[in-house]
Amino acid sequence: MNKGRRRKNERHTTKTIRRNAVGHSDKLRGAMNADDFRDYMLSFLFLRYLSDNYEGAAKKELGSDYSKCEEDIINANDNQFVLVDVLYDHVADYFKKRETERKNIILRQYSGQEAKEAVEDLRIETQSLLKEHWALLESKKLNPLIVWYLENIDQVGTFEKQMRRKVHFVIKPHFLWSNIYELARTQSKELLKTLQAGFKFIENESFDSAFRGLFSEVNLDSDKLGKTYEARNTMLCSIISAIAEGLSEFTNETDLLGNAYEYLIGQFASGSGKKAGEFYTPQQISTILSRIVILDSQDPSTGKKPYINNLLDFACGSASLLINVKKHLEPNSISQIYGQEKNITTYNLARMNMLLHGFKDSEFQIFHGDSLLNDWDILNEMNPAKKLKCDAVVANPPFSYRWEPNDTLAEDFRFKSYGLAPKSAADFAFLLHGFHFLSDEGTMAIILPHGVLFRGGAEEKIRTKLLKDGNIDTIIGLPANLFFSTGIPVCILVLKKCKKFDDVLFINASEYFDRGKRQNVLSPEHIDKIVETYQYRKEDDKKYSRRVSMEELEKNGYNLNISRYVSTTSEEEIVDLADVKKKLDETEDAIKRAKAKHNQFLKELGLPELP
């Protein structure tokens, strides 16, 4: 697809998503808030993506068999009910025959009560299998995969094994979005039950890596949907039908749906106030961090790293930063992506977001836990030889987060050499956590409030050691009001364990932005200016950037307040007092001459003179 057409499709997708996210949400949001609606909308978008990808891969894998199933459905035309009945009978015959064969084996091997119990177990198993396979026909609307599954029951196991190898996941045909939508469209009483079973299957069985709890925030038994099963089922029929109508208007191309998912997260973030900071880093800021960490750490002017050995975001939110780093690094690759998130809702968003952007479950690990407590076994390895080392670390942790430092944490390998961040602000605790896992060839970029640059006490001690050790490479001051969750200006700290330059680059970008309705915005030009200044360590404009020596920093007590080194205020004009006095004297002489001349006129007219 050419770039022009892609941009047109992206604009159409965004416009469609905006219209449907707003226009079709009234019915649902009348009963629940924006956060609840977000979880439903994003979960169904995710299901649509998985379903379409699986059906597309299945069509390619089955080849002519799939085409034959398509032809059977077309030939049935308006008489699909006849084909449904044929498939019902075929399934019944298959499992009855299977039951008879196994019953005969049981009777040959066992007798008496033992045989009776085994036969009863077989009967129950057969009824369960019949029910499971007949569930595929519940909507009475056939698709090729349903037909193939039911006509080739004995080959399904082999087919699904092949699909796991090629696309890394499996979805049973009746859990696919097309079937879920058909149940909703026809107001089937089985919709809620099927959706619950489908979510459970995707969480526990679809992927080789279990994604338990992936849909835990989508409570299908919530009273917000209705007080009874029937009421909830009816509400879901309306919700899914409305959402499906919107989703049907654009393709399932990974980039487009991924962008749509990001767009929805951003839209819900902008409307949910302070909670937004828990799960979303604005794309413009995410882009700055991403473009910085993918550059060569020793000499950024040489361009992108050819390869990143491990990427970490220990406060990953919805994983937008992780995805952005990979996007900007392409076509170069990343060995493994690691993310950690404390909030369960956001943790689920992150896992869905990664999969929806085309990442295989083997390419990333997202952990639900507390980074400050370091409760992820992978990051808690005491053997230095086995410690996780990352060439890129990015983070947008909660600003000035209150935490509970204690004696145990004081001895923690992440903090022991630096000291603990104060209870009132865990900013440096987050920084030191990520910095510990940075490789010697790596780059870390973290978003923090300006207070970390100049606050005293424990923070001053940590800041001073990082500076003396040569670990702080660049400090970037951003404009105020860029975030949904706060209006305060923030900064980006770029850290390295081994850096080439014996100075600190200060970039004061606080005055470079466009005003928006709710938030200020960084244009592509503003972003390019920041990244290029970092990349080439520019000092063209001393009111924008400057390289500051360690000697100057030491003289200032290692205070990193940006305006101390790069001020945007205009310099006061130097006043020449002698020149000013000369001009005043000349003015006074001119006044005296004018007064004398004026009094001469008054005298001639016989009028009183001026004193």
Q: What string of DSSP letters covers 357-404?
A: TT--TTSEEEEES-TTTT--GGG----GGG---EEEEEE-PPTT----
* Predicted confidence band of residue 8 (pLDDT cuts 50, 70, 90): low
The token duo for 528 is 């390019």
pLDDT tens, 42-96? 888 889 888 988 999 999 999 999 999 999 998 887 778 889 999 999 999 999 9
Say if residue 558 is in the same domain as residue 593. Answer: no
Say if residue 167 is in the same domain as residue 54. Answer: yes
pLDDT for the residue numbered 3: 47
pLDDT tens, 14-46? 555 555 555 555 555 555 666 677 778 788 888
* Residues of the chain above pLDDT 70, percent: 88
- Burial profile 467-495: b = 16 or more Cβ within 10 angstroms, e = fewer: beebbbbbbbbbbebbbbbbeebbbbbbb
> Per the domain annotation, does 99 fall within a domain?
yes
Please answer whether residues 16 and 249 qualify as being in contact, where contact means their C-beta atoms are separated by less than 8 angstroms: yes
> Per the domain annotation, does 367 fall within a domain?
no
> Per the domain annotation, does 581 fall within a domain?
yes
Between CA 561 and CA 17 the distance in angstroms is: 42
**CATH code assigned at 208:** 1.20.1260.30
pLDDT for the residue numbered 295: 97
Say if residue 227 is in the same domain as residue 320. Answer: no
Beta-carbon-side half-sphere exposure of residue 11 (alpha carbons within 13 Å): 6
Rg (CA), the chain: 33
The sign one gets for the Cα dihedral 239, 245, 251, 256 is: negative
Give yes or no for residue 575 having a pLDDT over 80: no
Give yes or no for residue 276 having a pLDDT over 50: no
Tell me: cis bond preceding 524? Omega within 30 of 0 counts.
Answer: no
Backbone torsion region of residue 112, taken as left when φ is above 0, otherwise alpha when ψ lies between -120 and 50, otherwise beta: left
Say if residue 229 is in the same domain as residue 328. Answer: no
Compute CA 399 distance to the chain's CA centroid, rounded to the nearest angstrom.
Answer: 18
Among 212-221, 298-307, 425-434, 522-531, name the one with the lowest average pLDDT. Answer: 212-221
Among 11-25, 148-162, 235-249, 504-518, name the one with the lowest average pLDDT. Answer: 11-25
Say if residue 293 is in the same domain as residue 337. Answer: yes
Say if residue 329 is in the same domain as residue 468. Answer: yes
pLDDT for the residue numbered 42: 81
> Per the domain annotation, does 280 fall within a domain?
no
> In the chain, how many domains are there?
3
Between CA 445 and CA 437 the distance in angstroms is: 13
* Predicted confidence band of residue 272 (pLDDT cuts 50, 70, 90): very low
> Per the domain annotation, does 201 fall within a domain?
yes
Say if residue 56 is in the same domain as residue 38. Answer: yes
> Per the domain annotation, does 456 fall within a domain?
yes
* Predicted confidence band of residue 274 (pLDDT cuts 50, 70, 90): very low
Say if residue 463 is in the same domain as residue 580. Answer: no
Say if residue 297 is in the same domain as residue 260. Answer: no
Query: Average pLDDT of 524-542?
Result: 96
Give the other-Cβ count within 10 Å of 288's Cβ.
24
> Per the domain annotation, does 528 fall within a domain?
yes
Say if residue 428 is in the same domain as residue 536. Answer: yes
**CATH code assigned at 452:** 3.40.50.150
Please answer whether residues 419 and 526 qualify as being in contact, where contact means their C-beta atoms are separated by less than 8 angstroms: no
* Three state DSSP letters for 219-245: CCCCCCCCCCHHHHHHHHHHHHHHHHH
The boundaries of the domain holding residue 528 are 287-347+384-565
Q: Quote the mean pLDDT of the chain.
A: 87
Give yes or no for residue 452 having a pLDDT over 50: yes
pLDDT for the residue numbered 256: 64
pLDDT tens, 194-215? 999 999 999 999 988 778 888 8
Say if residue 88 is in the same domain as residue 232. Answer: yes
> Per the domain annotation, does 278 fall within a domain?
no
Say if residue 216 is in the same domain as residue 340. Answer: no
pLDDT for the residue numbered 570: 59
Query: Average pLDDT of 481-508?
Result: 90
